[in-house]
Amino acid sequence: MISVLLVEDEPEVLELTRLYLERDTELTVDACLSVKEALRKLNHKIYNVIVSDYVMPEINGIQLLKTLKFQGIDTPLIIFTGKGDEEIAIEALNTGAAFYLQKSENPRFQFAKLRRMIYEAALKQRTEEIYREHNICVVVPAFNDEKCIGPTLDSIPDYIFRIYVIDDASTDRTPEIIQKCAEKDSRIIPIRHDKNKGVGAAVTSGYREALKEGMDIAVVMTGDNKMDPAHIPAFLNPIIKRQADYAVGNRLQGPEFRRGMTTWRFLRNAFLTMLTKIASGYWQLMDPQNGYTAISKRALERINPSTIYPRYGYCNDMLVKLNAYSFKAVNVNHPARYDSGKTSIFRLVKLLFKDFLWRMKEKYIILNFHPLVFFYFFGTMCILTSIFLGIFAIYGKLMQMEPLFVRATLTLILLFIGSMFILFAMLFDMEQERNIGMY
């Protein structure tokens, strides 16, 4: 059941609205003709949703909302009014109203819309209550983000318990702005690096603080305001429901998600994504370069934040470590927001190659043996041998006029065999990912 407090100073409108809403057996409605009466009821009963008119004799609906916030009452409030304009709607939503609905001449349409808003507001409230039952933190790495860090921190939802802001030795006003935000919001814990260590090191510093304070889930959002906090619930839900230990943002789901990404960046991202799939063993992840993530406490404790790669590429490095210890990872779709940041492809390729070898050793030799390591080994040896044999065959043909057929045939056979070994190894690796268990 959803309990609704209806505040309306016009008796006829109040009764009509109450009768319509009570036609839904899932809604119970208490009606009030004044704000004073509504405040008295709120002192004795907790409601799921409040529906209030805007223009009333004592105080208007927005002032009622401000009064409730001052008293610490966070019940979602819907402004339902016949007298209002765009400025009032903007003010209502900026003040914290769940929805703003203008009354129309079509009662059936407006009441149906109001009913849907009540359900959405109640669902959101219940969801946020679930989030508050967990210690959830947001880790915000920042470097020279003076124009964006303030809006980023101001937009983080109220159900987040702690916010760790890591200033990676910024040279602009970023530290000053972080400090001012911390003075206004007690959830914010400023952390400053004496020298620039890289985004991975900044995230690691936040993770360490999260473990010290016993956070259940740690979300990572960059300080450049490129990650919309409205999507945080989508990252939290799989972890809270114990469906995964790691949630990774996916900007590549469809054309509408990829809007804003240049062709070069898309191709570069696709290349690194394929290499990361091979290195990490998470074949279903679509956008592993994405830094918008959430991780569970048990996964964070197991991988040891101190071992994470300190610069760009840390998110790829984390995936390798998480897969080695059999933690489930899932995609979370969200729209893309991009800046002109650059990352060295060659450095990432080198990192991914080292991580791949480490995962083969750790996961398939030390922790649990699997023959796919031999498939990778023999496949690589066959392909390398075929390359050298092919070069030798071409050299013999051009320089010594020796027959090419036998050597070329042997080269192709070795290349085919090596490719089959590699493909079978990948197939076995995919099967291992599907078999990753939960709790």
Region label for 327, one of left (φ > 0), alpha (ψ between -120 and 50) or beta (otherwise)? beta
Two tokens, residue 78: 């819907």
Instruction: Name the token pair of 203.
Output: 């995230």
The pLDDT value recorded for residue 340 is 44
Cβ atoms of 49 and 2 within 8 Å: the answer is yes
Distance (Å, rounded) from C-alpha 220 to C-alpha 210? 11
201-227 per-residue burial string, b: 16 or more CB within 10 A, e: under 16: bbbbbbbbbbeeeebbbbbbbbbbbbb
So what's the pLDDT on residue 88? 83
- For residues 7 and 51, is the Cβ–Cβ distance under 8 A? yes
pLDDT of amino acid 193? 96
Backbone phi, then psi, for 333, in 5-degree steps?
-75, 135
**H-state helical runs in 75-133:** 86-95, 107-132
> What is the pLDDT at residue 256?
58
Low-confidence ranges of the chain (pLDDT < 70): 83-84, 105, 254-262, 336-344, 437-439
Q: pLDDT at position 254, please?
A: 61
Nearest one of 125, 37, 27 to 73, comparing CA atoms: 125
Q: Beta-strand (E) ranges in 238-334?
A: 246-250, 293-296, 329-333
pLDDT at 187: 96
Determine the Cα–Cα distance for residues 133 and 129; give it in Å rounded to an integer: 7
Q: Could you give the CA distance from residue 19 to residue 13 in angstroms, rounded to a whole number?
A: 10
CA distances 23 to 7, 27, 76, Å, are: 18, 8, 21
Q: How far apart are CA 226 and CA 222, in angstroms?
A: 7
Q: For residue 188, which amino acid is it? A: I
The amino acid at 259: R
* Helices marked H in 22-106: 35-42, 61-70, 86-95
pLDDT at site 406: 82
Per-residue pLDDT at 316: 94
